[in-house]
Structure 1
């Protein structure tokens, strides 16, 4: 969500490189969004989503991908189309050697700028359970491009969340940024909070470092937490960094990394403001953003579409067999219930049933009779 032009004009803030401002307060002076994203996904689940596999075993497919850069690029294109099609991004024309995997293919925007990558292939791409993975990444500019596509944060990022869930996705890094555009929460306030122990965790004070511009106007940066730790908060004078020496714009940017001890929940894509606030309760000014997020309907819509698609693709033939061999609705229900679990998925709510068109359709007459 872009900052209002009137706000920018009145505050002297530069209009470029604002990151992904998805949620904002009514005045438009406080915004929260996602500024970096990377995840590992089940490669073959993603390829099945686009019907790319044709009876090959996972090992055969992996060996085919490893065999040449052209093969790797072809497979990466399928992954790219599944996760990012329609968002104004493109896949580079060639694959090169990867950092974490055998191959990597750059993601570029309309201006041909590097905004992310897809990595796949090699012997090191397996999880402990044997799942072959690919890695997807979006830089801050890539996230901004996603943020500008279509309409509404929930629509864009919740679609990505649902697709990650369908492919056993695990977020490996996500940066969440809160922009105070008028300087209500300046860097010196964050310094005071640190001195007062507001960033302490279970009695332990994280490391901190101040990069001082000595009032040159280039902008100060305060780091709280280690660069390689599970989380690090950076507070910096963003407007001054961008070249406006008098800008009040301050950014609070948290970098979260997956570790062997802690996973990053996919819900950070649904509600980055609340996730940032949960990690750093002292940032309670974010309540004015988090409490205004109304994304339940979009979240449910993205989830039921994914669930229905997978049900049809993976078990549609089995359900057709069961349906054709049950003489009436009651016997069909009885057979289906023998295949169910007593637990419901975490996304299942009353809203889900109301928005799932087939379920709503069979329930509506009953409500009318009642």
Structure 2
């Protein structure tokens, strides 16, 4: 398995200054690089403490690239419906060059009504806009003199500069939540799959559908699934819970606040999202720990949690959300150090002795469900 750090800012000027937030997370990125972790991931959101400190994950990843040597960089996720594909493809190619070919690009459909309202993008029809934009970005990164004519954008003979450093382009990932057809589509596209399990039961047949669809359409390729989950490792289980729970509860509070507009919003493209805030408002830190969708404990306990999660979900990597609820500073650095020094070696030792895992079948039992974000 591959591991990395994942960031979804949930701070505001009242809780943590932007300068303090970025100083802390860049410290964590350098530590992750020095510790041999595989990825740094950053999301994109606007106008709210839930994600609002990072309106441009590519800008953030360019700063990370300048301060690290080998760790790979991934947007988690960029929101194509709010971008013109020529700009997005150009920025992707620029960061790919700055990083020496370390960039990977995660895409997601936006799902917060206030963002759609602000950018004057209709929520209904956003799936088609998302797919058209991702397809155009792919063409712009792999072709020259590209012409597109869609209901959302049009351009002729466009050749973006710089050209990608990786050939033919940086790898693409797409996020999905709960719609089976989304998992099928991502498999057909040949992209990697990003999931964010948060507190509910997840039918593992969804990732099995992705793998089956990928295999059917890309038999020479390799499907990839990565999950993002909160992590806090401390010397003892009790200390880990004492550190984690206030920050997990703050993360849930800020997230629920961002979902307030879903109490009244209805969209055909987001049929199951109305009232989502009510669901999140019922969750607590204890729920996340109990469902195995937040990994909190001593190194031995966390290693055991990861093993049990992997038995159910059979993912190829986990990206650890380490800034939840404003968590940061020396405690966050120590948590990542303990994972790198004492948890990962246990997992590596098990991997060398355990039989090869197989993806869950269509009748597999359920695991924890992705609820954050939006289906692709």
Greater relative CO (CA pairs within 8 A, separation 6+):
2
* Structure of higher CA gyration radius: 1
Between structures 1 and 2, the one with greater helix share: 2
* Shorter-chain TM-score above 0.5: no
- State the TM-score, normalized to the length of structure 1: 0.27
